[in-house]
Chains A and B, each alone.
Chain A
Amino acid sequence: MADRLYPSHGTGAMNQVELVENEDSIEISSLAPHFAVHKFPWRQVFGYVASLVLTAMAFILVINHVLPVSALVSVVIALAVLQAAVQLGVFMHLRESRGMAWQILVLGLGGFIALCVVAGSIWIMMFKSGVA
Chain B
Amino acid sequence: MSQAVRHLELPEQQLPLEFADYHESIKVTGFWIFLTTDLVLFACLFATFAVMRYDFANGPTPIHLFHMGPLILETALLLTSSFTCSLAIYQSRAQNKTGVLSWLILTILLGIGFVGTEVHEFISYVGLGATWHKSGFLSAFFTLVGTHGSHVTFGIFWALTLVVQLVKRGITPRTSRKLYTFALYWHFLDIVWVFIFSFVYLVSMTGGKMA
State in angstroms the CA–CA spacing of A63 and B197 once bound together.
13
Question: How many inter-chain residue pairs (CB < 8 Å) link A and B?
Answer: 197
Cβ of B194 within 8 Å of any chain A Cβ, yes or no, is yes
Check if B25 is an interface residue, CB within 8 A of chain A. Answer: yes
Decide: A6 and B208 in contact? CB cutoff 8 A: no
Q: Does B126 lie at the interface of the complex (its beta carbon under 8 Å from any beta carbon of A)? A: no
Interface of A is mostly: helix
Contact, CB under 8 Å: B206 / A2: no
List residues of chain A with CB under 8 Å of any chain B CB: 2, 4-12, 14-15, 18-19, 22-27, 29, 32-35, 41, 44, 47-48, 51-52, 55, 58-59, 62-63, 65, 69-70, 72-73, 76-77, 79-80, 83-84, 87-88, 90-93, 96-99, 102-103, 106-107, 109-111, 113-115, 117-118, 120-123, 125-126, 128
Give Cα distance in the complex from A63 to B202, angstroms: 9
**Cross-chain contact A35 with B79 (CB below 8 angstroms):** no
Q: Check B79 against A51 for contact (C-beta < 8 Å).
A: yes
A117 to B40, CA, bound (A): 9
Q: How far is the CA of A125 from the CA of B2 in the complex (A)?
A: 56
Q: Does B198 contact A (CB under 8 A)?
A: yes
Cross-chain contact B5 with A34 (CB below 8 angstroms)? no
Chain A CB within 8 A of B33 CB: yes
* Size category of the binding interface on chain B: 35 or more
CB distance from B145 to the nearest CB of A (A): 15
B5-37 with Cβ < 8 A to chain A: 5-11, 15-16, 19-20, 22, 25, 28-29, 32-33, 35-37
Q: Are B191 and A88 in contact (CB under 8 A)?
A: yes
Question: Most chain-A CB neighbours within 10 Å: which of B6, B19, B190, B203?
Answer: B6
B15 and A98 contact, CB distance less than 8 A = yes
Pick from B4, B9, B11, B82: contact of A91, CB below 8 A: B82
* B161 contacts chain A at the CB level, 8 A cutoff: no
User: Cβ of B32 and Cβ of A62 under 8 Å apart?
Assistant: no
Are A117 and B47 in contact, CB atoms less than 8 angstroms apart?
yes
Q: Which residue of the partner chain, among A15, A35, A52, A92, contacts B2 with CB atoms under 8 Å?
A: A15
Residues of B whose CB lies within 8 Å of any CB of A are 1-11, 15-16, 19-20, 22, 25, 28-29, 32-33, 35-37, 39-40, 42-44, 46-48, 50-51, 68, 72, 75, 79-80, 82-83, 85-87, 89-90, 183-184, 187-188, 190-191, 194-195, 197-199, 202-203, 205-211
Evaluate contact between B206 and A69: CB separation under 8 angstroms: yes
Minimum C-beta distance from B174 to chain A (A): 15
- Inter-subunit contact A121/B208 (CB<8 Å): no
Q: Are B4 and A11 in contact (CB under 8 A)?
A: yes
* Complex CA–CA separation, A110 to B41 (angstroms): 10
Choice from B19, B79, B184 contacting A98 with Cβ under 8 Å? B19
Q: How far is the CA of A124 from the CA of B206 in the complex (A)?
A: 22
